[in-house]
Structure 1
Amino acid sequence: MVRLALPTALTLVPLRAALPRIADAGADGVRLDLRTELRAADLSATAARELRHRLGEHGLKAGPAVFPTRGALHDEDRLEERVAGIVAALKLAADLGCGTLSFRPFRLPASDDAAATLLGEVLNDVARAGAHVGVIPCLTPAGNATRALEALSKVTAGPFGANFDPAAILLGGGEVAAALRTLHAHLETVTVRDAVTDGEGGREVPVGRGEVDWEETLALLHEARFHGWATCDRTSGPDPFGEASRAIEYLRAVVSS
C-alpha cells in the first residue's frame, strides 16, 4: 500500500492543532502548502527542523509539498517572480523533508505551440533548482497526459516528475487509466480525488462516488511500482477534511478486499 497523506490546510486550524487531527484520521503523513500555510520568507531552517520533530511526535512524516502557482508555468505574466517563488519553495521543501513539490493542475500547450518552448525552458530551470536541493518538482496534468509526457521528455537539467490527479484528468477530458499508463515512468506522487463528468465538464465528488475505478487505478500504481505518497484531498463540498479522511478508509478497504 502506498503511503497516505492528508493536507494540513483542510483542517482549517493552526498547523500545531492540525497534526493530532491528521494522526487520528489514520494518515501516514501530511501534505504542506508552501504558499498559503508556510512561506520560505517566514520559516527558518531551525523552525523547519522543529516542525519535523513535531510531526514525529504524532507518528507522522512530511509527505509531499505543494506550491499553488497563480499562473501556468508557460504564462509570461510575472513569470520571473513565479519561478523565484518556486525556487524558494523547493529549498523550504528540502528543509522540511518533503521529497516532492507539486504545482496546481493546468493545461499544457501542444508541442508545436510557441508556449511549449518557454515551458521547456522554465521546467529545466526549476529542475536544476530542485536537483540542487534534492527535491523533485512535479507537474499536475489536467486532461491531456500525452502533452505532459512531451513536456517532461524535454527536461534534461534534473529530475522532474508527475503528480497524478485522476479528477484533474477526468475534468480535463482525459481518461484515467490511459493517462496513468502514459505517465507511469514519471510518477512521483498522487492526489486522490474523484469526479463525475457531464456535458459542462463535471464536478469533484467524494472518493468512491465518481467515475474513477479505484481498483484498477491502485492495480496500475502497483504495476508501475509506485512507492510514493498519495494525498487524499477534497477541494469542495461541505466537509472537505472529513471526506478526505474517509477516502483513506475507502482506499484501504479497496486494497484489503
Structure 2
Amino acid sequence: MALPIITNKIGVIVDSFQVGVKEGLLKAKQVGADGVQMYAVHGEFDPANLSVAARKEWKAYIASLGLEISALVGDLGGHGFQDPAENRQKIDKSKRIMELGMELGTNIITTHIGIVPSDKNSQVYETMHSACEELARFANDMNAYFAIETGPETSAQLKSFLDGLGTKGVAVNFDPANMVMVTGDDPVQGVHLLKDYIVHTHAKDGLKLADIDPRDVYGYYGYEKTLDHEQIAAMAESGESFREVPLGEGSVDWPAYLRALQEIGYNGYLTIEREVGTSPETDIGKAVQFLKAYKA
C-alpha cells in the first residue's frame, strides 16, 4: 500500500525546547514548524500574568515569525477533575485559559482530566462528568474546544464519556504514543472510534515494555501513588514499563495512523511533543523532517 501523502500543518510544543517561550518560538521557526503550542498554566503565559496589552504583543510577535498557535496547553495537573474540593478553582482557571486562547487566535486548549473510571456509577465518574459538562457548555458557547489528551484510558472508554456530555465543547487531543505506551490501545482503531471529537493531535512515539497500571502513571483520586510532570517524563525516558522515543522508532505505525486521520477527514495540526532526551532541538528538528517526508 502506498504511503499516505499528508497536507496537515506541523506544530511543536514550545516548552519542549526547554529554553523559555521567546527563545522557543525562534527555535520553532528555525526547525521549520508551521505553528506552536504553549503551556498556559504558569509563568509568563498564565492568564493571570498577561495584561490585555501583553496578549496583543504576544499575538503580534508570534504572527511576525510567520507562526500560528495550534493550541494552548491547559493541563492543571494533579488528578485532573477527580477531586471535588479542587474542581471549582480548576474549572474557573480552565475557562480563563480558553478565553486567553481565543484572544491569541486559537480555539483549542489541550488537557488531561484524569483517568475516566470504567464504573459510570462511581463518585469519581460523576465528579469528572459534572466538571466536564460545565466546561463543554462554556467551550461550546464560545466556539472553542477543551481537548482531552488520549492515553490514560482506552479510546472506547473515553468515547463513552464524551458521548454523555451533550456538546462537543469537550473534545480530543489525540496522542498515539500515550496509547501504545500505557494501555496498549491501537491508535488506528482509536482514531476511527473518536473521529467525531478529534480537533488536535500530538506527534509522539513510544514503546510499551511491560504492563503497567495507568494509575501508576497518571495518578487517581484516593490512589496512593501520584507523580508530577517531571517524574512522568523520567519514567518515559528510562523506566522499565514504557519509553518515549523519536518519531518512527516506536510502536506507532505512522503510515497507518496518518492514513486513518486522512480517512476521518482530520486536517488539523500534527504537533510534536518531546518530553525526554538531552537534545530536544535536534530531536524536534528530526521529527519535523520525519513528518515532512509524508508531504513529498
Question: Aligning the two structures, in what range does the TM-score lie when normalised by the shorter sequence?
Answer: over 0.9
- Larger RCO, structures 1/2 (Cα 8 Å, 6+ apart): 2
Distance in 2 between the 1:39 and 1:136 partners? 18
Query: Which of 13, 21, 29 is the aligned partner of 1:15?
Result: 21
Partner Cα separation in structure 1 for residue 176 and residue 167 of structure 2? 28
1:66 aligns with 2:73: yes
2:86 is equivalent to residue 50 of structure 1: no
Alignment-derived partner of residue 249 in structure 1 = 289
Q: Please identify, of 165-174 and 100-109, the stretch whose mean Cα deviation from structure 2 is larger.
A: 100-109
Whole-angstrom distance in 2 between the partners of 1:190 and 1:57: 25
4+ aligned runs moved over 6 Å, structure 1 = none
* TM-score computed with the length of structure 1 as normaliser: 0.93
What is the aligned residue count?
256
Q: Is the 8 A contact 2:204 2:274 kept in 1?
A: yes
Distance 2:20 2:158 in 1: 35
Q: Given the alignment, which residue of 248, 254, 257 partners 1:214?
A: 254
Q: Could you tell me how far apart the structure 2 residues matched to 1:244 and 1:113 are?
A: 42
CA distance in 2: counterparts of 1:192 and 1:208, whole angstroms: 10
Alignment of 1:226 with 2:232, yes or no, is no
Letter of the aligned partner of 1:189 in structure 2?
Answer: H
Sequence identity percentage:
20
The 1-side partners of 2:21 and 2:60 are apart by: 13
Equivalent of 1:124 in 130, 133, 139: 133
Describe the shift of the 1:155–1:67 C-alpha distance in structure 2 as closer, same or farther (beyond 3 A).
same
Q: Determine helix, strand or coil for the equivalent of 2:117.
A: coil
TM-score normalised by L of structure 2: 0.81
Q: Within 1, Cα distance between the matches of 2:42 and 2:125?
A: 28
Query: Distance between the aligned counterparts of 1:250 and 1:158, measured in 2?
Result: 32
1:30-179 counterparts in 2 under 5 A?
A: 30-37=36-43, 38-70=45-77, 71-104=79-112, 106-114=114-122, 115-142=124-151, 143-157=153-167, 159-173=169-183, 174-179=185-190
- Partners in 1 of 2:264 and 2:119 — Cα distance? 26
Provide structure 1 residue ranges, at least 5 long, that are not aligned to the other structure. Answer: none
Q: Secondary structure at the match of 2:266?
A: coil
Residue in 2 aligned with 1:181? 192
Query: Any unmatched runs of 5+ in structure 2?
Result: 1-6, 212-240
- How far apart are residue 147 of structure 1 and its match? 1.1
Match of 2:279 among 208, 230, 239: 239
